[in-house]
Amino acid sequence: MYKIDFKKPISVHFIGIGGISMSGLAQILVKENFKVSGSDQAASKLTKELEDMGCKVSYPQSAANITDDIDLVVYTAAIHPYNPEFVAVKEKNIPMLTRAELLGQIMSNYRSAINVAGTHGKTTTTSMLTEIFMAANADPTISVGGILNSINGNVRVGKSDLFVTEACEYTNSFLSFNPTTNIILNVKADHLDFFKDLDDIRHSFKLFVEKLPDNVGTLIISSDIEDYEYFFKDKHCHVITFGEDPKKSNYSATNISYDAYGCCSYTLIKDGAEVTTIALSVPGLHNVYNSLAAIAAAENEGIDLDSIKAGLKNFTGTDRRFQKKGEFNGVTVIDDYAHHPDEIKATLDSCKHYPHNTVWCVFQPHTYTRTKSLMDEFATALSLADKVVLAKIYPARETNNLGISSADLADKIKALGKECYYIDTFEEIEKFLEKNCVNGDLLITMGAGDIVKVGEKLVNNGKN
């Protein structure tokens, strides 16, 4: 594998530079004085920011973008072998690294490399840690899978030897990383277009733990995961647990209460003893447990409790994570990235503590394989809303060779006794919601695709 030397910056080209993770890595290299270029299908806010930093970004992807002065090319799993730039790189014999391989090499340059993994909660927990480290003036370098307003984007380049990033399990990307601390928030069935089943996923997370350096590495893991000891029983590393049960968790919470907008406060318990009160500025019980993981990681890095409390209080969320978009006709519009049944349940549970009359959930399923394999779980989770509207399945990287649609999910939800509508287009969905939502209702658009546009359109129409 090609090795980069941060003391000898070179010319690096990113195929698909506009992705949330790729753009972040490109920014890190720019600030380390590398010459960075890239390409994407179309311009976006992220690519324009890179251009403002001096990157040459080309649209669309083309073989002509692969020039002879490029020393290294970085690509993602989404790039197919017949991509014109990929083909040109192969023909020119230019060294290549995957996004995950580059990220793994970047973190090798830091004393502490904290990787936040799990089927869900990665972006929020990484962002919580970011706020804590900044409150402590620890000057970290951060790569987060969402837009965090306090760092004006999805990456922060610090000058300390502390690095924090999300670690995604899809295509086993996180097995290319070089962590010193691994956080595992949860391990659930997902990405079943790549993994065989839950056992296969658990095996990958076990391999992820094995990436930790012997004796000096740290694993921070939820004790709520079934048979959580499986992941580290053969590994020589420091283990810290967090979770609901204080008897098997180093970090847990009690006396949990909610404010008027569903944000939790709780008494922090460490090793069985009450420590202090923690106040969060994001809603939902699930964020109590995300914060416990962040607290454990911060204390493991020597961060003081006052900075931890201040950082968690400062964290008000990232884009597309229970994000208030505005109102129309007295209806509050929230958007959330949830696209797995457990995430949907956590988000809709949060709605119970948020001001509302009727909770409308407008859900856009993400990928055909996920929808088919978790159909019953989706129906059960979505039935927590008062009324459900389903959009077409967002295909992402897939084609529909499974013969399913959102209509199948709608039938399952109706069978559970819930009011559910499958509506074909965004325009029709917007008209339906304008007609049926009333003053005091809570409307949440949900999914990892482009369903956010529906809520934004309704809010903008309400301003006209």
Which of 193, 201, 130 shows the shortest CA–CA distance to 169? 201
Provide the residue type at 245 as one letter. D
What the block records as the tokens of 49 is 């920011």
Cβ-contact 11, 70 below 8 angstroms: yes
**Three-point CA angle 244, 247, 252, nearest 5°:** 35
Which of 33, 38, 113, 29 shows the shortest CA–CA distance to 70? 38
Give the DSSP letter of residue 194: T
Is 356 annotated in a binding site? The answer is no
Cβ-contact 15, 37 below 8 angstroms: no
Q: Which stretch of DSSP H or E encloses residue 166? A: strand 162-167
Is 118 annotated in a binding site? The answer is yes
Give the DSSP letter of residue 87: H
Is 124 annotated in a binding site? The answer is yes
Task: Count other C-beta atoms under 10 Å from residue 427's C-beta.
Answer: 11
Report the DSSP beta bridge partners of residue 222.
242
**Ordered DSSP codes for 371-404:** HHHTHHHHHHHHTTSSEEEE-PPB-TT----S--
Which of 231, 228, 255, 263 shows the shortest CA–CA distance to 242? 228
Is 122 annotated in a binding site? The answer is yes
Cβ-contact 288, 224 below 8 angstroms: no
Question: How many CA within 13 A on the CB side of residue 297?
Answer: 37
Cβ-contact 262, 283 below 8 angstroms: yes
Is 48 annotated in a binding site? The answer is no
Q: What are phi and psi of 181, to 5 degrees?
A: -135, 130
Is 236 annotated in a binding site? The answer is no
Is 332 annotated in a binding site? The answer is no
Separation of alpha carbons 131 and 150, rounded Å: 8
Alpha helices in 301-443 (DSSP H): 305-314, 341-351, 368-373, 375-382, 406-415, 426-436
Binding residue numbers for ATP? 118-124
Q: Residue positions in the annotated binding site?
A: 118-124
